[in-house]
Amino acid sequence: MADLIVVDRDGVEHKVEGKVGVSVMETLRELDWGVAAICGGMCSCATCHIYVDDAWLGKLPAPQPDEKELLQELSGYQPNSRLSCQVQLEESVSGLRVSIAPDE
Ligand code: FES
């Protein structure tokens, strides 16, 4: 397990036990206030959009071109935007802090 700090769309911060070895989306979609993840992690829907806390951004592998392309089409795009289905949760990033992006 690895801890995740997740800020929901109302700005409330939650400490969540994340599943290691799978994407952050796999944890977030099980929460009532989490992400929809409509495409199931195929990098095509962007309903798993999150913002990664700046302090953690450099600790994650950079996004692949297809993820970046999809993110940049979103009105809520920010430099720290990621698709949570493309971010793998590992124990080395336990404590990762993310915010769920507004619905598009
Ligand atoms: S779940 Fe669809 S892009 Fe991430």
Q: Is the CB of 87 within 6 Å of ligand 1?
A: no
Q: Is the CB of 99 within 6 Å of ligand 1?
A: no
Q: Is 91 exposed, middle or buried (0-12, 13-18, 19+ CB in 10 A)?
A: exposed
pLDDT tens digits for range 70-85: 999 999 999 999 999 9
C-alpha–C-alpha distance, residues 47 and 5, integer Å: 19
Instruction: Decide if pLDDT at 104 tops 90.
Output: no
Tell me the percentage of the chain whose pLDDT exceeds 90.
Answer: 98
Nearest ligand 1 atom to the CA of 43 is: 3
| The model scores a pTM over 0.85 | yes
* CB contact at 8 A, 50 and 100: yes
* Bridge-based pairing state of the strands 2-7 and 13-18: antiparallel
The mean of the pLDDT values for the chain is 97
- Which of 23 and 104 is assigned the larger pLDDT? 23
What domains sit in the chain, N to C, each tagged with a CATH number? Answer: 2-100 (3.10.20.30)
